[in-house]
Amino acid sequence: MHSKDHPRAALVQALPELFDPRTWLPTVLAAGGMLRRQDVGGLVRSAADAIGAGTRQEAVSWIALGLRCHPDRLVDEIRRQGIFRCSKYRFHTGQLRPVVSTLLAHAKALSLADDVTHYLQSVSRLLQLGSSVRTLDASLREFLVRRNERALKTVVAVVDSLFMLDHQGDDSRSSENWKHYTKEDLAEAGSYIIHCFDAENWTARRPFQFHG
């Protein structure tokens, strides 16, 4: 089996103790230059699959290997693929939080740079909000289901009016007041509402049309 053709499979073959909870860390530390920079994207996809399947140790091992060999490239790819975003998992963070916590617990052993450690700490803090955000997200989706006839049209009309009136955010107001936010912030919120609307399959069941 050649690394050029099957890089991740070759790594598993070369590092048979990579996914063992007792030996993963020394295996990663001894891996040296076994991981090629161009294979990091595939490694992150493997980590994402492991998170989705609930195989936490596999996810930890893949990410730790990337952090050990090509930390900057690994973080860039994690951000690009969004595997640490709460929204990717519908804000169910039970599988992801232990992965990040384990990586942070071994940051010193992995010789992680301060900026990489700070990034993981920021991710960890955001994941702690997952449960609260999930409740809000579920409430929003339920509202969209109940008000499917008018919700999307209203969102589009409101966002359009914000730009027509050149709404400016007022940061002296409470963050709980919509006037605190810029029109770009509110447009992004509107985009997420439309995404939720589409995700609940209402557009497929009942195509939305404007009627003047």
Bigger pLDDT: 24 vs 179 = 24
SS (H, E, C) the chain: CCCCCCHHHHHHHHCCCCCCCCCHHHHHHCCCCCCCHHHHHHHHHHHHHHHHHCCHHHHHHHHHHHHHHCHHHHHHHHHHHCCCCHHHHCCCCCCHHHHHHHHHHCCCCCCCCHHHHHHHHHHHHHHCCHHHHHHHHHHHHHHHHHCCCCHHHHHHHHHHHHHHCCCCCCCCCCCCCHHHCCHHHHHHHHHHHHHHHHHCCHHHHCCCCCCC
> pLDDT per residue over 152-196, tens digit each?
788 889 889 989 989 898 989 888 888 889 989 889 888 888 877
For tokens 């030996």, what's the residue?
23
Q: Give the residue among 148, 138, 159, 153 at the shortest CA–CA distance from 201.
A: 148
Using a cut of 0.75, tell me whether the model's pTM lies above it.
no
Bigger pLDDT: 95 vs 132 = 95
Task: Tell me which amino acid residue 182 is.
Answer: T
For residue 146, what are its two tokens? 């109940």
> pLDDT per residue over 51-89, tens digit each?
989 999 999 999 999 999 999 999 999 999 999 987 777
Q: Residue ranges per domain, the chain?
A: 7-128, 132-205
Distance from chain centroid for Cα 65: 19
How far, in Å, CA of 58 to CA of 61, rounded? 5
> pLDDT per residue over 97-152, tens digit each?
999 999 999 999 999 999 999 999 999 988 887 666 666 767 777 777 777 778 87
